Structure 1
Amino acid sequence: MKLSPAAAAASLFSRQGSIDYNSAPPNLSTLANSSLYSTWRPIAHVLPAYGSIGDPCMHYTDPSTGLFHVGYLHDGASGATTSDLVTYTDLNPLSEPFIRAGGINDPVAVFDGSVIPSGINGTPTLIYTSVSYLPIQWTIKYTKGSETQSLAVTTDGGKNFTKLPHGPAIPGPPFAVNITGFRDPYVFQDPQIDRLLDSASGTWYNVISGGVHGEGPSMFLYKQYDSDPGFQTWEYLGQWWHEEANTTWTEAGWAGRWGFNFEVGNHLALDEHGYNAEGETFLTLGAEWSYAPIVPEVSDVREMTWVAGNQSLENGQLKFHPTMAGKLDWGRSAYAAAGKIVPSWSQASKKSGAPDRFITYLWLTGNFYGTLDFPVNQQNWSSSLLLPRELSLGYLDVVDNSVAREKGSWRVESESYGTITLAMLRQEIAREVTSSFKSNATNTITQAGGSISTTQPFAQTPLSKRYMLSAIITFPSDARSNHALKAGFSILAGPHEHTDIYYRFSNESFVIDRSTSSAAANTTPGIDTRNESGKLRLFDVPIDTGSAIETLNLTIIVDGGIIEVHANGRFALSTWVWSWYESSRGIEFLVDGGEVEFGNVTIWEGLVDAWPERSAGF
């Protein structure tokens, strides 16, 4: 669905004056186009002014301005700049793209890419997947020449990336490899690799995601050839990382499956403070897989994962070996994470006093990767990016027992006198965002907690469906043996619909129960109300009197139709909830099967308008 810029501008801020949100919904597909524009649209998240958004990609910090550029697929690729990771300015009016398909190298499509901030002639230089043939999918035979990697540069602050007038910089996949995919180049520098390969300091490397038919997913590694200032020649270094098809880090389910094909691989190095070029090597990556070993049709099963590991030379080739792995987000519709270094000298970091960081964004698809007949025309938009997240290497001191020793999304780092230190990926909403939500709240609600064993409503109901909720839940010492115990919150609750978010000890999982979340789902096909879930282990931690179960530190973001659940600095579960009734704003303590202790709960209403210039009508 594509409107002209004039039509888009006319309908951009339409309101639903004739729609009654106090009555039962009609079949939404019968409503006028754009009539649901504001119903579930988030205000604090990144998405275009209209139309669909795809993968986040092509981010960079501009050395000349200190602005962070956030890119995403949208009729090619579009994007915005931000000086604070909270508010954004479109690079072009109405979110028009800075690069489109249609050149000699990319007659069909522009896929993901990444940017060298000071590349050709010192300008931001983009290397992206240029597409000549479709379809491309791991379940079918690959068409030679489908995906190549091409270059473009910008000289106007990122508003336009001009394609270089020559063939692709990487004209095809490795010779004689029967690949499943070859896309999403990610460029990076790594002094550790420089030393291992005896490369010049500051050499650029490029990891391209894909796989090999009949063998499994792979990351293909390339190196800038002889410090080529034009970045037009890349040396193939081999399959830097490869896994057998459809295997997994652990069958206990902590990290999902590696699948058959990797996508959107990002290379980064982290320490406990954030980005550090000498830190531990991490990747974020998407994995495509199927419940069956071999399927003839396209599969829509995907994992958004992370992995940490070591690099070494083996028979002259650089290889990556995982040491721990997990999921970056457990939402089935959360995928295609892409990030970039946000240095301490960037505008955002200087304002907040943050060190060098790696900031990543995820895509939250609104129609489950195009497989649901959601009423997109009535919205005039589809999908969004999730709030930016800071990634770092986390450590946690826990009691040394079988719960901690199991192979999961953590690694035993050290041990001492009955305790061990676990290493894990730490991920939190960017500090600027949560700080801004608090300082700009239009209304703050504080709800007293205490020992609670039954469902209880809050004394005060939020005025809107846009807020950040913060809570601490303490579970009793016998919680591990009480398989009936669950605790959390019922939100967006009213007489006709509600959404339950809770932690259950029986399977160590967070659940977002969407079965009764949307009255509109009863009248309209294509509204997904399947439950979402993700695994989180609460460890036994040492205290003065012995040990206790780790407390659950919970943050819930509600922004129109988006729900983000973040816990203990290492867990995220995101999804859409299509709440219909205006009255569906209530919140309740949700407890079943026992008693837990809630700390005081705070709700900051209003969030922040991420697009003030759009709100002002451009």
Structure 2
Amino acid sequence: MGDDATGGSGASVQDATPMYASGEDITSLQALTAARQRLLSAREFNTFRPSYHVQAPYGWMSDPCAPGFVPSMQPNGEHRGDARGFYHLFFEWNPLDSEWGNMSWGHYLSEDMVQWRLPDNVEARALPELVIKPEDSKQYPEDCKGIFSGCMRPGLPSDAAPQSTSNTTLLTLIYTAASSLPIHYTLPYTRGCEKVVLATSSDGGRTWQRYNGGRPVQGAEAPPEGLDVTGWRDPYVAEWEDMRAILASSLPSTGGDNQLFGILAGGIRGITPTVFLYSLSEGLTRWTYRGTLLRPGLHARLGTRTGDLGINFEVCNFASLRHATGTQLYLLLSAEGTQPTPWSRRPATAQSKCHLQKPDRSSSHECASVNPRPNRRLMWIACDVQRNAATDELLKMRACAALDYGCLYAANSFLDSCTQQRVLWGWIPEEDVGEEGRAAQGWAGCLSLPRELFDHVTYNVVGSLFAEPLEETGLLQYDSSSGIARLLGIRPARQAVGLRDNSQSHALQMAEVDTKCDTQLLAFDAETLSVLAYPIFDGAKIGTAWEFTTTVCLDESFSSVVGLAIHHSDQQYTLISFDRETSVLSVIRTHSHVPRSSGETATNTDSDSGPLPVFKIKDADTGKTVIEPLTLRLYFDKSVLEVFANDRLAISTRVYCRSQQHRLSLFAASHTKFTDTMLWNSLRAWKQTADHA
């Protein structure tokens, strides 16, 4: 369950019920139908709405939930032996309003993670995207206040193994059921307000039913006894052989499915954020608490340029990634209550408030930004399975850093059995425009493009542009004798190239930029930028949905800044800038939004930045030391911008410009070559329904 700190989202501290639009009731079909008509007719519905990022049809959207691939089955229950099947993607959704509340789940299917559609034979339903929602509290009391994040497993809850009935796969959802609000790590925790509940489908995901009458699974009705928790939610279930090995003596011998483990994210008040571990037996129906995976302490960090781990965890997955000599275990998590980073251009904000309550307007704290974002961060931690009885930890941290240095949050992942990729989906919020802006749109939030996580290895490394030791930059391994540097890699999933189908491509093999631009990029005005930048693609070629790639050749003469300018209009632009002095990549948004009038909704235009270690490498043939190139890959989609650099840094952000055409230009503080520059425009992906058209 990802939280939202924008003003006006969620329920207030005084009102412990979800916020309903105009008193509407999530259990009423009439209310749902009326809300659908109201939200779809919002005056700004299409102004900033992306075209190739996955979205709810309208209303508030947040966490991606239960992503996975389910292969097609033979009538006898055996796999077909080919790659045929469907990717499933669920998401938190409020079908009543463009603010948080009434948390329900929506659902889409895809054969390629690019084109998404509804399950077969659901279009006739009043809300065909809706899977499961809060119902009458007397009938289903456990999740009457919300259906929060979770995961999916093939098969029935009783056996958790792939089954087939009439050539249709059985599926089980595992989610957090909320029965009481508000819930936030800064507030006292109401024991029993969150439980683990199951839902099942016998028709491949077309319809869903609560399992066991919506009652919680045994052993997961409340947090462990004796712990004052700050949160306890967002179940993730998977096999974990290494964990089973160290806990073998205490695990029950119940047959073939007892290699399953479940984790729930949260924290222990005043002590540490943590992840609670459970072993599963009797399929998915019995959970036994086994301890905490980590107890790093409050605001812990493993390096000066990695960011801290905050106060409370949400939406945590564990994943093992292969490398040359074995596998590496990672925790992928969302950290709440994090501290500002030294490289960030974003002002410090007041204590973030969850989407389960409104921020306290009586606070005397003055924020430097409008609609300030919450203090949270998407993180990865590299770990070893190593039990520490003294601290009640089952993992030992080796390295950590941010998975994304922008607004991306509440990410969920799965192992794609077709490609063996670890695929991650994240939530891109709508917090920069505030409640008024979201109401004008009739929707809020979308999902990122699917991303691949992998073991990133660079050879013959002898140093980096930045003077700080490489060990401080979030590297998992740096061996100065062998020159091997390892860390978690992140890049668009390989299926993303499918976005280029039917697009228009434009190539610029090489551009040499030789301008002495102002190194203080925030001082750029539109006139200066237009003179100093090197234009490459104009508005006749670029619309509002495109992909851009370029490689920047860096050498010792490179002295300061280099990057790309996206011109939205004569006075409106966004800069993607790499600064050698700090080795920081920034998306500078200070001039990305120019209000049309004094009455237009205020927009947060703080910049997003992240440290990018650029390595110095010894050339194996010449023995000379060279600087690795800077490779940029951008995806722009109406108001969404995703930036990837060197397959090891990502920044997701929002750019609210009304322009329908853009220009691109390059800039550099010294003579610089840009090579392999490509543009694909008119990208369009997931299948449109009547609501999306």
1:105 corresponds, among 123, 142, 145, to: 142
After superposition, the C-alpha distances for 1:340-367 in whole angstroms (9 at most, x for unaligned) are 12102xxxxxxxxx3x121111101012
Question: How far 1:414 sits from its partner (Å)?
Answer: 4.2
| Conserved? CA contact 1:365–1:383, under 8 Å | yes
CA drift of 1:612 comes to: 3.8
Q: Which residue number in structure 2 is paired with residue 288 of structure 1?
A: 336
CA distance in 2, matches of 1:298, 1:162: 33
Q: 1:447 offset after TM fit, Å? A: 6.3
- Give the alignment partner of residue 538 of structure 1, picking from 614, 621, 639: 614
Give the Cα–Cα distance (whole angstroms) in 2 for the partners of residues 224 and 507 of structure 1: 47
Query: What does residue 560 of structure 1 align with?
Result: 638
Q: Distance in 1 between matches of 2:36 and 2:679?
A: 34
Pair 297,87 (structure 1): closer, same or farther in 2 beyond 3 Å: closer
Is residue 73 of structure 1 aligned with residue 92 of structure 2? yes
Deviation string, structure 1 residues 107-138 (Cα, Å, up to 9, x no partner): 21111111122232643222211111111111
The equivalent residue for 1:351 is: none
Q: Report the CA distance between 1:7 and its aligned residue.
A: 5.9
Q: CA deviation at 1:297?
A: 7.2
- Judge which range, 605-614 or 215-224, deviates more: 605-614
- 2:417 pairs with one of 329, 338, 343: 343
For 2:443, the equivalent position in structure 1 comes to 381
Deviation at 1:51, TM superposition (A): 1.2
Q: Which residue of 1 aligns with 2:294?
A: 241
1:245 alignment partner, SS class: coil
Q: How does 1:233-382 map to 2 (within 5 A)?
A: 233-250=286-303, 252-254=304-306, 256-272=307-323, 279-289=327-337, 291=339, 298=353, 300-315=374-389, 319-331=394-406, 333-344=407-418, 354=419, 356-368=420-432, 372-382=434-444
How far apart are the structure 1 equivalents of 2:87 and 2:202?
16
Which amino acid in structure 2 is aligned with residue 595 of structure 1?
A: H
1:409 aligned to 466, 471, 474, which one? 474
Residues in 1 aligned to 2:537 and 2:617: alpha-carbon distance in whole angstroms:
33
Deviation at 1:536, TM superposition (A): 0.7
Q: Name the CA distance, whole Å, in 2 between partners of 1:325 and 1:577.
A: 29
Instruction: Write the letter of the residue equivalent to 2:242.
Output: Q
- Check conservation: 1:118, 1:124, Cα contact below 8 A: yes
The SS at the match of 1:558 is strand
What secondary structure, in the 3-state scheme, does the structure 2 residue paired with 1:361 have?
strand
Q: 1:426 aligns with which of 489, 508, 521?
A: 489
CA distance in 2, matches of 1:536, 1:611: 36
1:606 corresponding residue in structure 2: 682
- Give CA-to-partner distance per residue, 1:259-295, whole Å, 9 cap, x none: 110110011111149xx9x7211111011115599x9
Structure-2 separation of matches of 1:238 and 1:303? 24
Q: SS of the counterpart of 1:144? A: coil
Which residue of 2 is the match for residue 178 of structure 1?
228
The residue aligned with 2:590 is 515
C-alpha change, 1:586 and 1:95, in structure 2 (3 Å) is farther
SS at match of 1:378: helix
1:112-168 residue CA offsets vs partner (Å, 9 max, x unmatched): 111122232643222211111111111111112111111111112223331122631
Deviation per CA, 1:403-450, whole angstroms, max 9, x where unpaired? 56432221225454xx411111111111111x2233421343436412
The aligned amino acid for 2:491 is E
Over 3 Å counting, the alpha-carbon distance change for 1:379 and 1:215 in structure 2 is same
Paired letter, 2:487: M
Partner of 1:474: 553
Structure 1 residue 522, shift from structure 2 partner: 6.0
Residue by residue over 1:352-397, the C-alpha shift from the partner in whole angstroms, topping out at 9 and shown as x without a partner, is: xx3x1211111010125xx923422322211110000111111111
1:224-273 alpha-carbon deviations (Å, 9 max, x no partner)? 13xx13x22111001121111122222x232x211110110011111149
CA distance in 1, matches of 2:571, 2:414: 43
Give me the TM-score of the superposition, normalised by structure 2: 0.77
Residues 525 and 223 of structure 1: is their aligned pair in 2 closer, same or farther, counting only changes over 3 Å?
A: same
Q: Following TM superposition, by how much is the alpha carbon of 1:49 offset from its aligned partner in structure 2, in angstroms?
A: 1.2
- Which amino acid in structure 1 is aligned with residue 668 of structure 2? V
Q: Which residue of 2 aligns with 1:84?
A: 112
Query: Of 371, 395, 405, which aligns to 2:457?
Result: 395
Task: Give the match for residue 160 of structure 1.
Answer: 207
Amino acid of the residue matched to residue 513 of structure 1? I
Q: Secondary structure at the match of 1:159?
A: coil
- Aligned counterparts of 1:287 and 1:44: Cα–Cα separation in 2: 28
Q: CA 1:614–1:190 in 2, change beyond 3 Å: closer, same or farther? A: farther
Name the SS of the counterpart of 2:293 in structure 1.
Answer: strand
Structure 1 residues without counterparts, runs of 5 or longer: 15-32, 345-353
| Cα pair 2:385 2:395 within 8 Å, conserved | yes
- Mapped to 2, the partners of 1:598 and 1:194 lie a distance apart of 50
Asked if 1:504 is matched to 2:537, the reply is no
> Which residue pairs with 1:44 in the alignment?
52
Instruction: Please point out which of 262, 266, 275 is paired with 1:219.
Output: 275
Q: Specify the alignment match of 1:23 in structure 2.
A: none
Equivalent residues of 2:337, 2:352 under 8 A apart: no
Aligned residue for 1:53, secondary structure, equals strand
1:615 is displaced (CA, Å) by: 8.0
- Between the aligned partners of 1:84 and 1:291, the Cα distance in structure 2 is 38
Classify the secondary structure of the residue corresponding to 2:242: helix
Correspondent of 1:549 among 620, 627, 633: 627
Q: What is the aligned partner in structure 1 of residue 80 from structure 2? A: none
The one-letter amino acid paired with 2:129 is E
Q: Calculate the aligned-residue CA RMSD, in Å.
A: 2.8
Give the 3-state SS of the residue equivalent to 2:243 in structure 1: helix
State the distance in 2 between where 1:514 and 1:413 align.
Answer: 34
3-state DSSP of counterpart to 1:271: strand
Cα shift readout 1:498-551 (whole Å, capped 9, x = no counterpart): 111111112211111111111237642342211111111101012233111111
**Of 47, 62, 77, which residue of structure 1 is paired with 2:70?**
62
Q: What runs of 5+ residues in structure 2 fail to find an aligned partner? A: 1-20, 25-29, 74-84, 95-103, 164-169, 341-347, 355-373, 516-531
CA contact (8 A) 2:473 2:613 kept: no
Corresponding position of 1:490: 565
2:179 corresponds to which of 120, 132, 141: 132
Q: Counterparts of 1:445 and 1:475 in 2: how far apart (Å)?
A: 21
Structure 1: how far apart are the matches of 2:545 and 2:54? 15
Question: What is the rounded CA distance, in whole Å, between the counterparts of 1:615 and 1:110 in structure 2?
Answer: 23
Instruction: Check 1:63–1:388 CA distance in 2 against 1; reply closer, same or farther (3 A cut).
Output: same
Aligned twin of 2:263 = 207
Partner of 1:20: none
Contact 1:427 1:570 in 2 (8 A): yes
Flag the 1:236–1:528 CA change in 2: closer, same or farther, 3 A. Answer: same
CA contact under 8 A between 1:392 and 1:425: conserved in structure 2?
Answer: yes
Deviation digits for residues 483-504 of structure 1 (CA, Å, limit 9, x no counterpart): xx11111113321211111111
Q: For the Cα contact (< 8 Å) 1:51–1:381, is it kept in 2?
A: yes
The one-letter amino acid of 1:498's match is Y
Q: 1:288 corresponds to which letter in structure 2?
A: E
Q: Is 1:464 the equivalent of 2:543?
A: yes
- SS of 1:192's partner is helix
Distance 1:438 1:98 in 2: 31
Cα distance in 2, alignment partners of residues 494 and 297 from structure 1? 33
Aligned residue for 1:242, secondary structure, equals: coil
**Letter of the aligned partner of 1:411 in structure 2?**
L
Report the Cα offset of residue 216 of structure 1: 1.1
